[in-house]
Amino acid sequence: MTDVTVDPDENRATELRNKVVDKLKEDGTIVSPSVEAAMRKVPRHLAVPEASLDDAYSTYNPVVTQEDEHGNHTSSVSAPQIQAMQLEQADIRPGDSVLEIGTNGPNAAYIAELAGPTGQVTTVDIDPVPAARAQQFLDATDHTNVRVVVADAENGVPDHAPYDAIIVTVGAWDLPPAWTEQLRDGGRLVVPLRINGLTRTYGFVRQGDHLVATSAHVCGFVSVQGAGSHRQQVMQLPGDKGVTLHFDEGAPANPSLLDGVLDTPRAETWTGVTVGTGEPIGTLQMYLATHVPTYCSMTIDPELTTGAIGPTGLGFSMVAVDGPNFGYIVVRRDPDKNNAEFGFHAYGPDGSGFAERLADIVRTWGKAHRDAPGPRIAVYPAATPDDRIPGDRIIDKKHSRISVSWPVA
């Protein structure tokens, strides 16, 4: 009789992998048997040998594999939850031709499992280091139907187009034309798209010359590099060296109008709209981002701030600028901390009126959109005229025009 030695680490990896998949099925992230089977099979820990098994199989946390000189993450293996979420959005079928933009190995292997032996998978990265890591991992796990390409994916990968699905695993501010053009009509594009600083991974379907979103999930991703990169504009709030404003779609045309804004009395208005502890408010964030004038976010340095801008009571900030007026959202909690009410602080020559106008936006969300599905998002080419774009709001970017419509409950 021959003794068979079983690697205890491999046993533990299998156990942890199955535990992750069980958790993602339980929380509703994984719903299809094919995604479940792929994620149970691929040994993702082999792609991150520098990480512990527990970190490699952390359900909701990525493994950072590369940083720049400032400590910013430039490459990572996304958390299993995010990967499963995007795979479900992509609806990859046997025989599909799929492009992955942004690579590190495991996700390309999942895609290859879903596309099967008759499918074709191309994964591309602008950086040769993660591309080499991916190639090594794919070779080690015998996923031979995956092409690894080093290139700036702003132009897609035309050599292997058209694609049935494109999955983007880096945060994008805009959608270059190639990503739509290289999709078959009816093909699926899954992309973490930033709109006014808020990132959602959207599942789009190509319909002729434009894309229509069929799903959206809150997420966070390393930002795209190369020609498609986009830096937020920042400015210091006049009168407070500790408050920095971050504009994703463009700073005010005349920021000097805010000079002296903090010398005016602070207005305070409460909306009457409350949320329960732990209640998702992602649609409120997006509603504000697409309705308030010159939406931005702010960061506060406690060592430099004057203290004029008080704590918001939130883990994030939502700020609006309208000429010489400046306002931001705040919350107040009930004594038992079971509910919180939204309100606004505002400064400027019309601070009280501005606070009230911002409050009305939240009240409209509470009455008409809170219990409705999220916004309908569609993406059109930049040259598309207004009369061909339906929707409540149009957000213009370099290559595209994003239509945002809000259904009523």
Alpha helices in 116-176 (DSSP H): 128-140
- Buried b / exposed e over 189-228, threshold 16 CB at 10 Å, is bbbbbbbbbbbbbbbbbbeeebbbbebbbebebbbbbeeb
Closest residue by Cα to residue 251 from 197, 301, 329, 307? 197
For the chain, how many helices (H) and strands (E)? 9, 19
Per the CB < 8 A criterion, the answer to whether 349 and 328 are in contact is no
- Catalytic entry in 34, 75, 76, 78: 78
Q: What CA–CA distance (Å, rounded) separates 147 from 253?
A: 46
Q: What SS3 state is found at 279?
A: coil
- Partnered with residue 11 across adjacent β-strands are none
Query: CB within 8 A of 247, min separation 6: which ones?
Result: 232, 233, 234, 235, 294, 296
DSSP secondary structure letter of residue 232: P
Give, rounded to a whole angstrom, the gap between the first and last alpha carbons of the chain.
Answer: 69
- Partnered with residue 319 across adjacent β-strands are 296, 328
Element holding 47 (H helix, E strand): none
76 carries an active-site annotation: no
> Which sequence positions are flagged as catalytic?
78
